[in-house]
Chains A and B, each alone.
Chain A
Amino acid sequence: AQKVTQAQTEISVVEKEDVTLDCVYETRDTTYYLFWYKQPPSGELVFLIRRNSFDEQNEISGRYSWNFQKSTSSFNFTITASQVVDSAVYFCALSGFQGAQKLVFGQGTRLTINP
């Protein structure tokens, strides 16, 4: 069975601080995909990144960066110089390669950036 754990339920930081959201996953698949989605207060789910299990290169996109470590089954997300607009619930998700392409989501981390 697949499982995603986001141990941090809520994080609150002051604007301009760096913050890291943790994600740990479990799967028996050798090929799988990992995702991060953002859910702002308006409620929609916004796709941020997809990473496949063969690509362990870290990725940076502006103030966002992702650290994928297969050895520890982790896919952590860091926001550098956080801004109030980053306040949202962030979800990590996992999908297998074979069969259903359903996403298995973690419970989410509510991030609040205070001015």
Chain B
Amino acid sequence: DSGVTQTPKHLITATGQRVTLRCSPRSGDLSVYWYQQSLDQGLQFLIQYYNGEERAKGNILERFSAQQFPDLHSELNLSSLELGDSALYFCASSVIGELAPQYFGPGTRLTVL
């Protein structure tokens, strides 16, 4: 158990809908990262937050947004969903400094029908 929690574990929805994925980092970790794992794109970095502020953006679509709250949990919002958004979405957390390892949550499997 990495100490990172993600909910829900599975999510099935329809095209055009909006969903919210939730992540709680390990105790003491201020940095949260979101990654998408799909068959065609592999594991791709989406976005990073540090202590409530956006720190870096990767290949994140404009239909996707995220935020980190004062209690450090983070949410990834996916809107106007398309079939191609079906993927496993991981949250990871780390301390900052010395390129600390990122510890990953169990992931949320999103299926868009």
> Which B residues lie within 8 Å of A103 (CB)?
33, 35, 43, 45, 102
Instruction: Say yes or no: is B88 at the interface (Cβ < 8 Å to chain A).
Output: yes
Contact-size category for B: 20 to 34
User: What chain A residues lie within 8 Å of B94 (beta carbons)?
Assistant: 101
Question: Across the A-B interface, how many residue pairs have beta carbons closer than 8 Å?
Answer: 61
Complex Cα distance, B96 from A47, in Å, reads: 17
Pair B55/A100 contact, Cβ less than 8 Å = yes
Once A44-B106, A101-B48, A102-B45 are accepted as A-B contacts, the answer to whether A35 and B55 lie under 8 Å apart by CB is no
| Known pairs A100-B48, A100-B56, A105-B42; A45 contacts B99 (CB<8 A) | no
Residue of B nearest to A48 (CB): B101
Would you call B42 and A102 a contact (CB within 8 A)?
no
Contact A43 B106, CB 8 Å, known A99-B56, A101-B56: yes
CB-based contact A104/B106 at 8 Å:
no
Contact yes or no, B107 A43, CB < 8 A: yes
**In the complex, A99→B96 CA distance in Å?**
12
B102 CB to nearest A CB, Å: 6
Max chain B CB contacts within 10 Å: which of A33, A37, A91, A101?
A101
Contact at A47–B56, with CB atoms within 8 Å? Answer: no
B-side interface residues toward A, CB under 8 Å?
2, 31, 33, 35, 42-45, 48, 55-56, 58, 88, 90, 92, 94, 96, 99, 101-107, 109
